[in-house]
Every structure is written in structure tokens, then in C-alpha cells.
Amino acid sequence: MARTARFTLGGEDYINIFKITLQFGEKASSLGVCEDLPAFSFRSFDHQIDGCFQADSEGKMEINFSPENVVYDPGIGSSTFPILEFEDRIKKSLLAVESYAIESNKLYLFMKDQKNPMVFLALKD
């Protein structure tokens, strides 16, 4: 989804590709809906989402955030259909996460009623 959204705007520019980030923390989230669960932060083309998550060693996972924790920060292409569709789908997909797997430096998030997982690559600063 992200590749389609980004490349629709400016072609396949592999050098200046926008990084969509997902960070999981160890400290408890300060958000009211989270009740001492660890925090996560997600940054996409137009949104910053903060929330919390639960995960166990068996691969089960749940991600939670409320609409007031989604901050709209318009970027390039904010009004294009590929970006709008991506942003809508990514929020729904994050809330539908049921399980995860980690293989070869990649995090796979599996969602309820979706065939393909979201894939995130671990990057070092």
C-alpha cells in the first residue's frame, strides 16, 4: 500500500523514499485508554498515531488507539486518492492486528480478515 501511494506521487525514487515508521516502546503509555500497557508510535505520510499494545511470546498482539490520539499532519500529496486510501486503510489495519511474527529483521503484522500482512523492516539509527 505504501509503495503504491508514494510512487503515485513522484515515480519510483528509491533514494528519497519516505519512511513510514512504527516504534514499540517498553514504557507504559500515558494515554487514558491504555492502563499501563506499553506505548507505540506510528508515523505515516499524513498522520502521527500514538497508542498502546499488548503482545505475548506466542505471537498474539493487539494494538489500541483512540481517534483523539491520531494527529493529522498534512504532507505532500495529502489530497491525492492513493494517499487518502492508504491513510484510511492503515488506521483500520492497525486496529485489526491479531498476531505478529519476526523473521530476518522484519516484523510481520497479521490482521483480522486480511490476506496479506503489513511488513516493517528494522532499521538502525
Q: What is the mean pLDDT of residues 106-111?
A: 95
Whole-prediction pTM value?
Answer: 0.80
What is the pLDDT averaged over residues 53-80?
Answer: 86
Percent share of the chain, pLDDT over 70:
80
Neighbours of 99 (CB within 10 A): 17
pLDDT in tens, 12-51: 566 666 778 899 988 888 877 787 899 999 998 888 999 9
| Residue whose C-alpha is closest to residue 43's, from 69, 61, 68, 64 | 69
Rounded average pLDDT over 48-64:
94
